[in-house]
Amino acid sequence: MAERGGTRATLATVAASAGVSVATVSKVLNGRTDVAPATRSRVKNLLAQHDYVARRAEPPTAGDRAEPPTVELLFHKDFNAYGIEVVQGLLDAGDAAGVAVVVSRRPDDQRDTGGAAQWVADLAAAGRRAVISVVDQLPEADIEALHRFGLPLVVIDPLNQPSARITSVGSTNFSGGLAATQHLLALSHRRIAYVGGPMTAACNQARLHGYRAAMEEAGAQVDDAYVRTGDFLYDDGLREGLALLDLAEPPTAVFAASDETALGVIEAARSRGLRVPENLSVVGFDDTQLAKLSAPPLTTIRQPLREMGAVAMRTALRLAAGEELDSHHVELATQLVERRSTSQLQTPTGAT
C-alpha cells in the first residue's frame, strides 16, 4: 500500500510494520543472508506493499560489509555472438564505475501485473540500481512496475520503435542497410536479395528500408521473392539462402541482416556447389567475432555492440543518480567493414 499523501515509505516504516529492526530491513535490502527466511519473506512482502525502493543501495549498518551496487541485465533468448559483444561492453563499463552486473532471464510465469510487482520488488530488495534489457522490450506490466518502484530501465537495440517513455540505445540501422547494399551495387550486382529478422522488429525494418532505398536509387528492381525474413539466426540464413538459390533467377548477392544469418547463407551456397564470393557475394551485419572467423572472412556492417553496452550502462547509472538525459534514444554509427566475402560480379551480362 502506498503511503498517504504520496509520502515515500522509509526503512523505519517498513521495520515497524514487520516488527523488526531497521538494521534487519537494511540487511534484506542489501541481500544479506544472515536473516531468517520467514523474516526475509515478511520484510520483502512489506517492502512491496509499501512500494518501497532505495534509489541507492542502503548504507551498511554496523557490522555489515559494503556490497558493490548492482545492475540487472536481462536476456530474453539464448546467448549468441551478438549478446557476448554487448555483455563485454556492459562489463567493461561496470568495472570502470565499480558496479556489478547480474545477468538473468525474466521468468515467463510472472507476466501478470501481480507477478511484475513482485519481480521488481525482489530486484529493489536485492539492491539493484537499474535494469538493462537486451533486444526485447519488456511487457507493459513490467515497465509500469519498474516506473512505480523508481528503477530505471534502458533497452539495447529495441525491437519496437523507440518510445519517449523508455530510454534506449541502438545503432544507425538504416544507414547500415544503405551502405551494405550500395557496396554490392558498386560491385555491379543488381540481383541483390535481403535476408532479415522479424518484420515487426524496428532494427530489421530500418535495415530493410536502407536496402530498398539503395536499390531504388540505383534503379535496381526488387523482386518480392528476394526479401526473406527469419530471426537473425544461422538456421534462418541457411533455410532462406537455399530458397533464394533455388529460384529460377537466383540472386548474385545477398545482404544478410546479421552475421549469423550471413554464415547460414554461405553454407547454403556451399551446399549448392557455389563459391563465395566468386559465385555469390554476401554481406552481414554486426561485425561479431563470427565475421572474422568465417571462411571467407565476412564483409559486414559493424554495429558498435560493445560501445552500445557501455553507453547503456552509463545511461542507466545516470538515471539511477537522478540525472536528466538530453534524449531518450541514442544511436551509434555503423560502418562498412570490407573483407573477402564480396567481389565484383563475374558475369554481369545476365544482370537486370
Please write the tens of the pLDDT for every residue from 44-59: 778 777 766 554 444 4
Class of domain 1-65: mainly alpha
- The number of beta carbons lying within 10 Å of the beta carbon of residue 324 is 6
> What is the rounded average pLDDT for all residues in the chain?
86
Instruction: Please provide the DSSP assignment of 169-226 as one string.
Output: EEE-HHHHHHHHHHHHHHTT--SEEEE-S-TT-HHHHHHHHHHHHHHHHTT----GGG
C-alpha cell read off for 136: 526485447
Look at residue 75 in the predicted model and tell me its pLDDT. Answer: 82
- Least Cα distance to 261 among 287, 281, 289, 241 occurs for 241
Give the global pTM.
0.78
Please write the tens of the pLDDT for every residue from 126-143: 889 999 998 666 788 888
Question: How far, in Å, CA of 88 to CA of 91, rounded?
Answer: 5
Share of the chain above pLDDT 70, in %: 85
Look at residue 295 in the predicted model and tell me its pLDDT. Answer: 94
Q: Which of 141-155, 222-236, 239-253 has the weakest average pLDDT? A: 141-155
Look at residue 33 in the predicted model and tell me its pLDDT. Answer: 67
Query: What's the pLDDT band for 349 if we cut at 50, 70, 90?
Result: very low
Look at residue 224 in the predicted model and tell me its pLDDT. Answer: 95
What number of helices (H) and strands (E) belong to the chain? 12, 12
Residue 8 has pLDDT above 70, yes or no: no
Look at residue 2 in the predicted model and tell me its pLDDT. Answer: 44
Please write the tens of the pLDDT for every residue from 275-314: 999 999 999 999 999 999 999 999 999 999 999 999 999 9
Q: Which of 27-36, 119-128, 253-262 has the weakest average pLDDT? A: 27-36
Architecture of domain 173-304+335-350: 3-Layer(aba) Sandwich (3.40)
Residue 310 near residue 167, CB atoms below 8 Å = no
Bridge partners of residue 171, in order along the sequence: 332
Question: How far, in Å, CA of 351 to CA of 248, rounded?
Answer: 13
Look at residue 288 in the predicted model and tell me its pLDDT. Answer: 95
Please write the tens of the pLDDT for every residue from 189-199: 999 999 999 99
| DSSP code of residue 282 | E
Burial of 117 (0-12, 13-18, 19+ CB in 10 A): buried
Domain ranges of the chain: 1-65, 173-304+335-350
- The arithmetic mean of pLDDT across residues 140-161, rounded, is 86
